[in-house]
Amino acid sequence: MGWLIYTAILTVLIAATLRMLPNPPLTDRAKLWRDKGTFFKFGKHDIFYIDEKGRHPDKGTVLIFHGFPTSSYDWIKVLDDLKSEFSQVVLYDLLGFGFSDKPMDGYAFTMSEQTDIGEALLLKLGITEAHILAHDYGDTVALELLARHNKGESKIKILSLCLSNGGIFPETNKPMLIQWILKNPVIGNVIPTFFYFKSIFKISLGRAFGLRPSDEEFDDFFTIKLHKDGHMADSRLLNYISERSINRDRWVGALQTTKVPVHMIYGPADVINPPAFIQFYK
């Protein structure tokens, strides 16, 4: 028992020391991405977004939601292709992610607020209808927006919905062990400090990829994640796992009953949503 107490104390001391160290500087690619965008104020929070003019004037606007634990930077490789398909492409960093504010001190992140931010951004830009493209965590934000759309509770009309590899069904979603650990209200406030070590961050994030990113891409993810101490928000952001179960009828029901055209992109190498997911979806 004594060695357990010693280990716990040593872990807390190391974690406290890491919290005092400066975060690594952004990579040049991450800086360029940040410079493409701007911020708008939602309540007390600054939200980062990118608004790009597309090359297809008749295809409308697409609003894009990213996944956990990354940011809008996820879409950098396909942004130009998306601009060729739409008249306008809007991406933003969800609250607690990327270059958006990452409130601490026990702040409770909710899917409802994340969706409020997306709606507020579109209305700020004068947009009242849009196509929706989402991935992972962003799928759940998109489903809340779809539920509001179906019930006439949103000022945003959804023209189409494209979901990619996300935990839509609690029955088939298999969060990684690290996600359950981070979700713990006690341990989850200590473990993230060790993501200050890039090697630990790469091991943790790398398991979620079917096709492993390059070292340069990991550098980008790493510096954006630690920007504004974002790694310290993970334990509270992961509450979305519980929200998916609590709101299953609302969100899965929205998908089952909507008249909005829906398209699913599914990569079967997903360790969090194994192939059983696609059969359930069908």
pLDDT of residue 155: 94
pLDDT of residue 282: 75
How far is residue 82's CA from residue 59's CA, in Å, rounded to a whole number? 11
pLDDT of residue 273: 82
Q: Quick check: 95 and 114 in contact, CB under 8 A?
A: yes
Cα 42–chain centre separation: 17
Listing DSSP states for 150-165 in one string gives HTT--SPEEEEEEEES
Angle between helices 198-206 and 215-226 (to 10 degrees): 110
| Tokens 């894009």, located at residue | 64
pLDDT per residue of the chain (282 residues) written in tens, 0 to 9:
565 555 444 444 444 554 555 678 999 999 999 999 999 999 999 999 999 999 988 899 999 999 999 999 999 999 999 999 999 999 999 999 999 999 987 899 999 999 999 999 999 999 999 999 999 999 999 999 999 999 999 999 999 999 999 888 888 877 766 676 666 666 656 555 655 567 777 877 887 787 788 999 999 998 999 898 877 788 888 888 889 999 999 999 999 999 999 999 988 888 788 888 778 777
Buried b (16+ CB within 10 A) or exposed e, 110-127: ebebbbbbbbbbbeebeb
Listing DSSP states for 71-87 in one string gives -GGGGTTTHHHHHHH-S
pLDDT of residue 56: 86
pLDDT of residue 57: 86
Domains, the chain, in order of start with CATH, read 25-281 (3.40.50.1820)
How far is residue 197's CA from residue 190's CA, in Å, rounded to a whole number? 14
Residue type, 96: G
pLDDT of residue 1: 55
For residue 265, which of 250, 254, 256, 278 has the smallest C-alpha distance? 278
Q: Return the bridge partners of 208, or none.
A: none
Give the DSSP letter of residue 187: G
Give the DSSP letter of residue 20: T
pLDDT of residue 81: 97
pLDDT of residue 270: 84
For residue 224, which of 94, 120, 117 has the smallest C-alpha distance? 94
How far is residue 131's CA from residue 118's CA, in Å, rounded to a whole number? 13
Interior CA angle at 89 toward 87 and 92, to 5°? 160
| Tokens 């989402």, located at residue | 134
pLDDT of residue 274: 81
Q: Quick check: 111 and 247 in contact, CB under 8 A?
A: yes
The tokens describing 33, both together, are: 């991405």
Q: Quick check: 150 and 262 in contact, CB under 8 A?
A: no
pLDDT of residue 197: 63
Alpha helices in the chain (DSSP H): 2-19, 28-36, 79-85, 111-124, 137-150, 177-183, 198-206, 215-226, 234-237, 240-246, 248-257, 276-281
pLDDT of residue 8: 46
Pairing of strands 88-92, 45-53: antiparallel
Angle between helices 215-226 and 28-36 (to 10 degrees): 60
The tokens describing 69, both together, are: 């634990």
| pTM of the predicted model as reported, rounded to 2 decimal places | 0.88
